[in-house]
Amino acid sequence: MGKKRIIKQSEAELLKEGEKAEGKTKKEAVETLKKIQEGRIYISSSYNNTIITLADSKGNTLGWVSAGSIGFKGTKKATPFAASKVAEAVCEIARKFSIEKVEVFVKGIGSGRESAIRSLVARGLEVTAIKDVTPIPHNGCRPPKARRV
């Protein structure tokens, strides 16, 4: 194997690395995030679960909550009550970031769609727009081939 060589850096190289490391510290990055006033909320409601994601106005995720992460199990995750509890949890995250105005994007066909929006409004968030972004097939899937008897 031989002896291992230890490479020593000169002072100029060490200073360059220190300048790269400086910039935004984690604390400064969190403080800039806390100054957000507007955001987006994405509600994904399926037959099995309700997932709500909080994002800033550019679309960067700030936090998310699902009915399963709150503690609902099985078929109870898809209920409107679970969706309203998820929306309340997202409102708490929005308060941490001092978000007051939100645009809501709803996706899916589950039973928690409307109750989640109602709960967001009831908790004090100002909903500026509601948009349904559920994917709809234009021509559907290919039909099965004809049956031969």
Q: Domains plus CATH for the chain?
A: 37-132 (3.30.420.80)
Confidence band for 2, pLDDT divided at 50, 70 and 90? low
Give which of 74, 54, 26, 61 is closest to 116, Cα–Cα.
54
Confidence band for 17, pLDDT divided at 50, 70 and 90? low
| Mean pLDDT within 12-21 | 64
Q: What residue type is assigned to position 129 of the chain?
A: A
* Contacts (Cβ under 8 Å, ≥6 apart) of 149: none
Q: What residue ranges in 15-84 does DSSP mark as E strands?
A: 38-45, 50-56, 61-66
Confidence band for 140, pLDDT divided at 50, 70 and 90? confident
Confidence band for 81, pLDDT divided at 50, 70 and 90? very high
